[in-house]
Structure 1
Amino acid sequence: MAQTTAQRQAAYRARRATAGKDGNGERRLDMWVSSEADLALARLARRYAVTKREMLERLIVRADDAIVRRLDPDSEQWDLYFKASR
């Protein structure tokens, strides 16, 4: 029996969620951003010759790395910071 469009889309999203080297997959973000932020993201991506997705991922990971490097793994701040991602 043929799948409906919704069933095919659900299967596709499930595959994306578990794909990847570590089996952790990808996460879908669905949000509105200001025109200012979107235009800035487009400029940054064009400057570095990457997609907007790649630029956003780089910005997020670099900002997170900068914070994590300053935290002591045995501190309350570390626990509080990583609690936000659970």
Structure 2
Amino acid sequence: MATTSAERQRAYRARQSCAGENGERRLQTWVSTAAALALGRLARHAGMTRPTFLEKLVLDADQVITRAMSDETFDKYLALPRNKR
């Protein structure tokens, strides 16, 4: 029996949660048109996809911030409560 689009999508998302080194998480959010267009330009300029560029941007910013932290501050940073949806 053929699978429906919803079933294929569900299976794809389940596989993605285990993909790569540490799995992947889906982000779904709204940003301004200006930010979306800028992300597209930046990614294209860097020769990357938008998701790859966004991931690099976030990880680079996190690394810059954590390098400057003391051990105590770093421990507090890692223990930040989860954001509510």
TM-score (norm 1): 0.80
What's the counterpart of residue 19 of structure 1?
19
Correspondence for 1:79 among 59, 70, 75: 75
Distance 2:37 2:75 in 1: 35
Aligned partner letter, 1:65: Q
What's the counterpart of residue 5 of structure 2?
5
Aligned residues between the structures: 82
Question: Structure 2, unaligned stretches of length 5 or more?
Answer: none
- Root-mean-square deviation (CA, aligned residues, Å) is 1.8
Distance 2:51 2:14 in 1: 20
What's the counterpart of residue 46 of structure 2?
48
Change over 3 Å in CA distance of 1:41–1:85 after alignment to 2: farther
Q: CA deviation at 1:80?
A: 2.2
The residue matched to 1:31 in structure 2 has which SS? Answer: coil
Change over 3 Å in CA distance of 1:34–1:65 after alignment to 2: same
- Deviant stretches of 4+, over 6 Å: none
Change over 3 Å in CA distance of 1:9–1:54 after alignment to 2: same
TM-score (norm 2): 0.81
Percent identical among aligned pairs is 50
Aligned partner letter, 1:34: S
Distance 2:32 2:68 in 1: 30
Change over 3 Å in CA distance of 1:17–1:7 after alignment to 2: same
